Structure 1
Amino acid sequence: MANTSETPLYQLIEDCEVTHEKLYKFYAAVIIIIFILALPLNASVLHLFIFKLKFWKSNTNNVFLFNLVLADILLLICLPIKAHNFIKGERRSPNDAVCKAMLFMLFLNRGASIAFLTVTSIDRYFNVVHPGRKNLLKVLKKSPYISIVIWVLLLPLTIPTMLKNFDCCNSHKTHKDEPSADALIQDVVDSLREAVFFSQIIIPFVILVYCTVRIVNRLRKKTVGDKTKLKRATFLVMTVMVVFSLCFLPCTLARMILLIARVQEWRPIFQDKATVAFDGLMVLSYMDCLLDPLVYCFCSTKFKGLYLSSYFPFLFKESQMPIDTSSGQPASKPARNTVI
């Protein structure tokens, strides 16, 4: 780790060394807390989807949600390494292979989480707003291979991020000499990579806003009949919006400010503040592995009851125990006869 008291601030930023050791140790502590809370939560959810819900035999929504769990597991694998780097005063691993692997896993998780959250909301939108209309998604979701296709399509969007200058926010470096062909090519590559980064957020966000508005309007216009399905769909898309807005939009805005700071060559102290803010909001984005279970609860009618009955059976009466789809029997024996 560089000596921050002797190394110029601008050089620390370029070398991907932390400039505020105590703050980055706080970031590391937050990452560790997220890891400790999210690991058992996602492990229990994974167990439920595989052994209780038999996701491959049930509706396609469960398949999408299972893939969302896999995306969160990818993120959890990276968190201890990220926390270790921050504690050592490094914004990324000095090992080239580890650095690229970390970037690949982090951004594959990011892309997969956004993709499956968006697909789940679109599916619910068609079910509620256009229940009888045939559409491409309804045709595709009947095939279990649609999830594999989504993962494969994410790969070309993830590979461009596997560069150190992305993790260290060093896109569009200032070239002190006259612009050369290599420098121009690097600027083009940086621009394309940043375009991929922002499009992964902006396009799905617009889709989510549209789905949310249409479903809410549909709920308001329905004056007769059962509104339970519509209310559940509304809660789902609004929950997805909350997860999306909290985890992904802030770091995207910080990334935009950071790029402006670099392109316009702001003073090193302002570039440093933008860099520290971006790293902190990236840590906030890791919260999605804790918030995604909210999506499961509102998306699957069985999930919430089955999860509580499997891991907290004392909350249910025996007559209210959800059915375990793998056995046809109540999920577990209750410990008391009251519902809390």
Structure 2
Amino acid sequence: MANYSSTQNHTTGLEDHCNVPNNNTYKVLSWVMAGEFILGLPLNLSVLYIFIFRFKFWKNNSVFLFNIVVADFLLVACLPVKIHHYQNQVRRSENETVCTLMLFMLFLNRGASIAFLITLSLDRYFSVVHLGRKNCVKVFKKSPLISVLIWVFLLPLTIPTLFVFFSQIIIPFSILVYCTTRIVSRLKRKTVGDKAKLRRAVFAVLSVAVVFSVCFLPSTIARAVLLIVRLKNMQDTENIVVQVFDTLMVLSYLDCLLDPLVYCFCNSGFKVAYISTFFPPVLKNRLLKPASYVPTTTTTTLNSASKIIPLQVVQK
């Protein structure tokens, strides 16, 4: 356990201190995390319920989406510990075992969310840009074994070295930008055919880009600034940058609230199942009325599809 923490300090060149530089800042951050926990726990429990009992993810090629749900739920479960630390004016636990376990869980959940989100983006990319060719990602996402292997592969990446911290963000974000650019370009060049399908692919990839831009990129940039400040031994500036970094890390936990939007864009069946289960009838009828994901030729077919398809998804 001690080796893990010492690895963090020596390989990153960043020695994280337990004491907070400003009590008021961390009191506020603790309440922000409390809000994330209060909203995130029921939301992620409801999403888990839908995926397991109503949507049955293993039958709907949604194994990767389910893994993101698991990662988000584990992240939410870690928040009370962080809240306790910040309420008691410490940035992390002075107990090496607790500190190591928290670092492990946060890095594992962050890595899993990023890995599966990028895999979903690649699936949309191959399905749209290279339509007609063999999509290996589509084959992989049907196999639970591949998901297990991804989790196992992420285990050594939980050691918070500087290279791992940045490569976890920079490389996936580069892939995401490339996929988004190619899909948007494909949509602009599409003159005939199902443009609605391409638009849904764009929305799916853009929703992943929003999660990255809001949750992961800012904290990564702040981490780079913190490294520079510490290497230059600028103590006064470091106290400010540490607070900025910790604030952005707290905001990065918002991915457990934003990811359900990704599920809705990536799988219309999940959206229908969730709305049909938890939304009141007035909102349910309004949100499920445009069943645009069903190809139709007449008004009669459209109306019947909007009534039948939501029921079929929920009954599975």
TM-score (norm 1): 0.80
Q: Is the 1:309–1:321 contact (alpha carbons within 8 Å) kept by the matching residues of 2?
A: no
- CA–CA distance in 2 between the matches of 1:242 and 1:92? 29
Residue correspondence of structure 1 range 123-138 to structure 2 within 5 A? 123-138=123-138
The amino acid that maps onto 1:279 is D
Look up the match of 1:46. 48
For the aligned residue pairs, the C-alpha RMSD in angstroms reads 1.6
Q: Is the 1:251–1:282 contact (alpha carbons within 8 Å) kept by the matching residues of 2?
A: yes
Residue correspondence of structure 1 range 156-195 to structure 2 within 5 A? 156-158=156-158, 160-161=159-160, 193-195=161-163
* Partner deviation per Cα, 1:42-94 (whole Å, 9 max, x = no partner): 000000000011111222xx111100000001111110110110010000011
- CA–CA distance in 1 between the matches of 2:198 and 2:180? 11
Q: 1:139 to 1:307 in 2, by over 3 A?
A: closer
- CA–CA distance in 1 between the matches of 2:116 and 2:137? 13
- CA–CA distance in 1 between the matches of 2:168 and 2:201? 24
Look up the match of 2:288. none
- CA–CA distance in 2 between the matches of 1:207 and 1:31? 30
- Listed as ranges, the gaps of 5+ residues in structure 1 are 1-12, 162-192, 329-340
Q: Is the 1:118–1:207 contact (alpha carbons within 8 Å) kept by the matching residues of 2?
A: yes
**2:276 counterpart of 1:309:** yes
Look up the match of 2:151. 151
Count of matched residue pairs? 281
Q: Is the 1:306–1:324 contact (alpha carbons within 8 Å) kept by the matching residues of 2?
A: no
Q: Is the 1:236–1:299 contact (alpha carbons within 8 Å) kept by the matching residues of 2?
A: yes
- CA–CA distance in 1 between the matches of 2:266 and 2:87? 38
Q: Aligned-pair distance for 1:38?
A: 0.7
From the CA coordinates, give the structure whose radius of gyration is larger: 1
Q: 1:207 to 1:137 in 2, by over 3 A?
A: same
Look up the match of 1:283. 250
Residue correspondence of structure 1 range 65-84 to structure 2 within 5 A? 65-84=65-84
The structure carrying a bigger helix percent of its residues is 2
Q: Larger relative CO (CA 8 A, sep 6+): 1 or 2?
A: 2
Residue correspondence of structure 1 range 1-340 to structure 2 within 5 A? 15-59=17-61, 62-158=62-158, 160-161=159-160, 193-266=161-234, 268-314=235-281, 315-317=283-285, 319=307, 322-325=310-313, 327-328=315-316
Q: 1:205 to 1:14 in 2, by over 3 A?
A: closer
- CA–CA distance in 2 between the matches of 1:304 and 1:316? 11
Q: Is the 1:51–1:326 contact (alpha carbons within 8 Å) kept by the matching residues of 2?
A: no
Q: 1:320 to 1:30 in 2, by over 3 A?
A: farther
Look up the match of 1:179. none
Q: Percent identical across equivalent pairs? A: 59
